[in-house]
Structure formats: structure tokens, C-alpha cells
Amino acid sequence: MTFCIAVFRSRNETLYLANMLKSLGVQTGIINTPKEAGQACGISVRFDERLLFKVKQCLSSKPFRAFAGFYRITQTSGRIKVERIV
């Protein structure tokens, strides 16, 4: 299974983006941020990788100051691979 997360250093901004995306009809979730994603607030917005462009558009429409980056999460055989999306 593969999905993406948007990582923030602010819980408030994490929840704001999740609500913003939901209001646009984008299916999202809130998950615990993997430790491999670095210093963050502890929760991230989870979304389908095919929606990355739409999520980027939402981020650019508001002044998100605590955004820390996008990560691709791949789960196979009980292992989790976390890679930063540039």
C-alpha cells in the first residue's frame, strides 16, 4: 500500500489543511507522523498519491508557515518505507 502525507510543525495547520481538503471533496485522514519524517507536530494529513497536485494547490492558496514537506509512505510485508517527495 502506498500513500502520501503532508507533514507540518503545527497541529493547527495540519487540521486546517485536512478540513480544507475535505470541504473540496478530497478524501483525507489524520495519522501519526512516522519518526522517519523528522521533527513535526506528531500528526500528518494522509491522502492518495494521485491527489498530490491538488493538495499542493491548496497549500499554495494559503500562508501555511509550518509546512515541513511531503512524504511517500510504502507499506509492504509489515515494513514501512518513508521517502521525502521533492
Q: What is residue 73's predicted lDDT score, i.e. its pLDDT?
A: 96
Quick one: DSSP state of residue 84? Answer: E
Could you tell me the pTM of the whole model? 0.92
Q: Is pLDDT of 66 > 90?
A: yes
Single-letter amino acid code for the residue at 34? P
Q: What is residue 6's predicted lDDT score, i.e. its pLDDT?
A: 97
Q: What is residue 22's predicted lDDT score, i.e. its pLDDT?
A: 96
Q: Could you state, in order of their start, the residue ranges of all structural domains in the chain?
A: 2-85
First and final CA of the chain: distance in angstroms? 20
Q: Other C-beta atoms within 10 Å of 28: how many?
A: 20
Structure confidence by residue, pLDDT tens digits, 14-62:
999 999 999 999 999 999 999 988 878 899 999 999 999 999 999 999 9
Quick one: DSSP state of residue 26? Answer: -
Mean predicted confidence (pLDDT) in 75-84: 92
Instruction: Please state which CATH number belongs to domain 2-85.
Output: 3.30.70
